[in-house]
Amino acid sequence: MSESTEVINELLQSIGVDTVYRTASLTLLENGESRYLRDLKLNFTSTLKSEHLSAKECGLLGLGVAVNNNNLPLTNFYTKYAAEEGASGEDIAEAAACASLLASNNIFYRFRHFTQKEKYSQIPARIRMQIMMKPVTGKEFFELMSLTISAVNGCEMCVNAHEDSLIKLGTTEERIFDAVRIASLITATGKIIF
């Protein structure tokens, strides 16, 4: 067995996927004996630990990003991981709901931002967002999930609004930075394992 295959098997086992699983991307890396596989494995592992986030929060952020990216293997992994770290069914449902809500918000507000027409800012959005009013995970953490998903989806207006809200809530920049770092690594993993 090659070193690449060993690293792939370790990564797949840690995600809870059968070691025979392959995507076209994973096969390209394996056949090319890519050194990136070790980085991919280490980067994925680093999504589970943070100096500024609890393991439960890492799991819920991972789940929100995986749902947002429509990634079944990672959704299954982070659902299980978050639950093992103390997330309730309501917490887990809220991470999935946040991904769905932010998908609509990011498209809508990115459109408003891109066009920069005053008229579109005056027309009511008519997007129900009751979940944002009293989130079960708490206002600060819901804002953090919203920020990470907005960063993944590339909505500048939403990223700035959520980051501003977090700072006003007393969140440290290190906590914000680490959440976005984790979201970026989950997205990178999802480009190879999906």
Residue 13 belongs to some domain of the structure:
no
> In total, how many domains does the chain have?
1
Please say if 98 is a catalytic residue.
no
3-state secondary structure of 174: helix
Residue 29 belongs to some domain of the structure:
no
Residue 10 belongs to some domain of the structure:
no
As a whole-number percent, the residues of the chain with pLDDT over 70 amount to: 100
- Tens of pLDDT, residue by residue over 69-86, are 999 999 999 999 999 999
* Active-site annotation holder among 40, 95, 97, 155: 155
Give the pLDDT score at 194. 96
Residue 40 belongs to some domain of the structure:
no
DSSP state of 168: H
Please say if 58 is a catalytic residue.
no
Q: What's the domain range around 68?
A: 52-190
Residue showing tokens 């999504």: 47
Residue 1 belongs to some domain of the structure:
no
Residue 56 belongs to some domain of the structure:
yes
The angle, 0 to 180 degrees and rounded to 10, between the axes of the packed helices 24-31 and 36-45 is 130
* Range with the poorest average pLDDT among 36-45, 118-127, 176-185: 118-127
User: What is the pTM assigned to this prediction?
Assistant: 0.95
Give the pLDDT score at 63. 98
- pLDDT range class, residue 93, cuts 50, 70, 90: very high
Q: Is 126 exposed, middle or buried (0-12, 13-18, 19+ CB in 10 A)?
A: exposed
Give the pLDDT score at 86. 98
Residue 162 belongs to some domain of the structure:
yes
Give the pLDDT score at 161. 97
For 103, phi then psi, to 5°, come to -60, -45
* Active-site annotation holder among 8, 87, 95, 158: 158
- Tens of pLDDT, residue by residue over 18-64, are 999 999 999 999 999 999 999 999 999 999 999 999 999 999 999 99
Interval 156-160 mean pLDDT? 96
Residue 107 belongs to some domain of the structure:
yes
CATH of residue 76's domain is 1.20.1290.10
The whole-angstrom separation of Cα 143 and Cα 154 is: 16
- pLDDT range class, residue 17, cuts 50, 70, 90: very high
